[in-house]
Structure 1
Amino acid sequence: MEQSTPQPRRAGRPGRPVGRVLGIPIFVNASMLLLALLVTVVYGNYVRTELTLPEPVAYLVGLGFVVCLLGSVLLHELGHALTARRFGIGVRGITLELLGGWTEMDRDAPTPRVDALVSLAGPAVSLVLGGLSTAAYLALPDRTMAGQIAFQLAASNILVALFNVLPGLPLDGGRALRAGLWALLRDRNAATEVAAWAGRVLAFVTAMVALWLYRLEHLTLFGLLFVLLVVFTLWQGAGQSIRLARMTRRFPLVDLRRLTRPMLTVPAGTPLGEAQRRRAEDPRPNVVLAVSDSAGNLTALVDPVAAERVPVDRRPWVAVDTVARSRDAVPVLSLGLTGEQVVRALQAHPAGQYVVTSGEDVVGVLRVGDVAEVLEPRRQRPVQRPR
């Protein structure tokens, strides 16, 4: 699967970097290691029975199969990544996780045609790998370790290719469906929502079929649990696609002039309690406390969370500087940015607040929570942000 994320990006990534392939960073999620261990044991036991191998050798074969499988997943994702690059879309990295992997790109495909080509490149690679593995299996002697691994790789790659082209997000086929709907409707967000709901229908049907096969004893309990895990992942991914489409539709509502909060600047060394008293008396709404030097130049922004953590009885004795962040460490946004440009800037430089400038002048502060409330107005926020 490929993914581009219009919401502000997390500062960290759920995966460990393991290297680069063709300049693309590769990350491995801890869940992938869990699956690798499980497949090593299960497949090792299978080949031990089929080929009457000693236990250590059988598990070594299982480990070899896992390495080949991981290579297949990586090549699938490289199909997405290199096709995206071919059309000028930057690739931030590839993450391998429990049920496969995903490619993170820095922006969406510019046209339905590019969207379809990038989406289908991964399944195409899997199909080619499946064909090559099938040819290797037919050429190798029967009941050998190499033949068994070739057969399993053929089956898994062909299955991955066929499953991934099913028409529902977040599967690759769902992205191709979105591309077709996008070309038809001329509205990418509407196409995304339709394809995502198709993904949820697909997840529900898959769950019902799996339960039916389990009741007929054509599917083991382990197989049922695995399918239900896949179904849960599909459902969650489709829901995220719906959410992101709705957020993207609201990009034009991100008006930097309206969302920028005014600043109240106090001299360095001012007690926190005194600074907060001045802010409370300021008639302007949503004022942000800032710190200036002796010449009146902005030097830092008060961190509202750090300020609230200071006990009330200590605030008269704590300098406002101690709960402030240097201006040099705060990202800067230009007042002339469009809504989409603001969100992309927040995505590229995650922070809690941003200095907003007009030319050489600082006009105020943007809080990331204010943007989130515009993009997701109905999403409940458990913590009341300080004024």
Structure 2
Amino acid sequence: MPGRLGHRCDRAAVAAPVHDRRPPAFATAGSQTRSRSIGPVKQRTRPSRRPGLTLGRVFGVPLRADASMLLLTAVVTVLYAALARRQLDLGHLGGYLVGLGFVVSLLGSVLLHELGHALTARRYGIGVRGITLELLGGYTEMDRDAPSPKVDLLVSLAGPAVSAVLGAGAVAATLALPAGTLAHQLAFQLAVSNVVVAVFNSLPGLPLDGGRALRAAVWAVTRDRHRGTEVAGWIGRAVAVATVVLVVVLTLRRALAPLALPLMLLVAVTLWRGAGQSIRMARIGRRLPLVDLARLARPLLPVPTGTPLAEAQRRRADGGTPDAALAVVDSAGRPVALVDPARVAAVPPERRPWLAVDEVARGLDRVPALPVGADGERVLETVRTHPGAQYVVTAGEDVVGVLHIADLAQLLEPKRKTNT
């Protein structure tokens, strides 16, 4: 049975590719919001990469399709084709055509659900970066979180409200159409799908739409958004466990099609992970005021261009600043490049006396910069849009230090293990 996993708030994640010596990904607390939905049986990436195929715009909102939609289309077409052949006495080709038509109708319902979120968000001044349709339905990407509990509540419930209206319309059509006809069968399936979507997404646990509504309520009462996120996140984990129990019961009763089982389990896993990410996000958000680049940035140790790497490392050790960042300076003493620790680590110790620092450095024009007075929100937004292992910290035109992503991760998640 098709369905959707509702409005989810996912602040940007600081992702660390395997080949980089960076800490594990950690969620930020204030950069983007996603409204997510599930597709066939019942549900990053960084937003800046705009994954998927661009289909165009709907009411000015960019619409994209993820490659995983092909799997959704195939699974739902096969499942519904078998049902259509039994109910309507159709041949194989006719069944598959009906199944494909149902997929198109279902994705239209998903799109309308997401437009409910997107247009409501835009109504309250929240920018919408786009809607993406994918394997588990789709998601709406917004450029920031709701500014108040009221707006958060309205944006969150807009999607389920659209699904409820669609479901009511499909129920009316089902009652009006003659039983045993193709139109009646399609109307019935769309009615069930949209009603299930509206009800399921309204459950009070993140990352579902109802979880965001619960967060808004707790936020309004306690005036603490992070507490609301944690409460809704833990309830979201309970919903994930309940979903697994439901899958087991349906399987034992043979009420679940074999092809539907993996997708149902994927829904439960997605709920659990989304809830956990929400809890983690709330904890990080509480530590954002601790971000102070003047204290967090590592000092610079200037070394002239052409200096052997081993000599530069010796100077740093002798200077009593083992954590200092090595900056390559020109003949006028101006920093022109920053030594990359990951590239240094790849150089065997016996080669370092013969290798100039310039060979393992990146030009400053290729290293993202942060003003020393930037607050935690701005720092994390920069990390999200310009992922890297190092960031130069500036005061006016002067470079005053270097922020290592591992240091930021340690500050925001002190109990989480990181690779330095």
Q: Deviations over 1:136-173 (max 9, x none)?
A: 33444433333322221121111101110011111101
Deviations 1:53-94 (A, max 9, x none): 221221122111112211211221121122112112222333
5 Å-filtered alignment, 1:264-303, equals 264-303=301-340
Tell me the CA shift for residue 361 of structure 1: 1.6
Higher mean C-alpha deviation, range 137-146 or range 113-122: 137-146
Determine which of 22, 28, 52 is the counterpart of 1:16: 52
**1:348 and 2:354 correspond:** no
Report the CA distance between 1:3 and its aligned residue.
Answer: 2.6
Post-superposition CA distance 1:220-270 (Å, at most 9, x none): 666555443322221111111111111111111112111111111222222
- 1:326: which partner in 2? 363
Query: Quick check: 1:68 aligned with 2:141?
Result: no
Q: Is 1:101 paired with 2:138?
A: yes
The letter for the 1-side match of 2:368 is P
Does structure 1 retain, via aligned residues, the 8 Å contact 2:305–2:357? yes
For residues 331 and 235 of structure 1, do their structure 2 counterparts lie closer, same or farther at Cα, with a shift above 3 Å needed?
A: same
Deviation by residue 1:189-231 (Cα, 9 ceiling, x = unmatched): 0111111111122222333344345445555666555443322
* Stretches of structure 2 lacking an aligned partner (at least 5 in a row): 1-6, 16-44
| 1:53 correspondence with 2:90 | yes
Of residues 386, 396, 403, the one that matches 1:366 is 403
Matched, 1:82 2:88: no
Asked if the contact 1:330/1:355 (under 8 Å) is kept, the reply is yes
Residue aligning to 1:114: 151
1:234-273 superposed matches below 5 A: 234-273=271-310
Report the Cα offset of residue 14 of structure 1: 8.8
Distance in 2, Cα, partners of 1:28 & 1:13: 13
**Structure 1 segment 178-197 matched on structure 2, within 5 A:** 178-197=215-234
Q: Given the superposition, is the C-alpha separation of residues 276 and 284 from structure 1 closer, same or farther in structure 2, using an over 3 Å criterion?
A: closer
Paired amino acid for 2:9: Q
Question: For 1:145, which of 182, 193, 216 is the aligned residue?
Answer: 182
CA distance, structure 2, for counterparts of residue 152 and residue 212 of structure 1: 22
| Greater RCO structure (CA 8 Å; 6+ sep) | 2
Separation in 1, partners of 2:66, 2:161: 24
For 2:225 and 2:49, the matched residues in 1 are separated by 27
Return the TM-score normalized by structure 2.
0.84
| Larger fraction in helix | 1
Matched residue type, 2:331: S
Aligned 8 A contact 1:119 1:172 in 2: yes
Q: Which amino acid aligns with 2:125?
A: G
Shift of 1:7: 4.1
For 1:8 and 1:228, locate their aligned partners in 2 and report how far apart those are by CA, in whole Å: 27
- The total of aligned residue pairs comes to 383
TM-score of the two chains, using structure 1 as the length reference? 0.91
Aligned equivalent of 2:19: none
Partners in 2 of 1:213 and 1:149 — Cα distance? Answer: 23
What's the RMSD between the two structures over aligned residues? 2.2
Would the aligned equivalents of 1:8 and 1:348 in 2 still touch at CA under 8 Å? no
DSSP 3-state at the match of 1:250: helix
What does residue 71 of structure 2 align with? Answer: 34
Using the TM superposition, give the Cα deviation of residue 326 of structure 1 relative to its aligned residue in structure 2, in angstroms.
1.4
CA distance in 1, matches of 2:283, 2:88: 54
CA distance in 2, matches of 1:230, 1:7: 21
How many angstroms does 1:275 deviate by?
2.1
Whole-Å separation in 1 of the counterparts to 2:372 and 2:68: 42
Identity %: 59
| SS of 2:9 mapped into structure 1 | strand
| CA distance in structure 2 between the partners assigned to 1:345 and 1:352 by the alignment | 12
Distance 1:153 1:15 in 2: 28
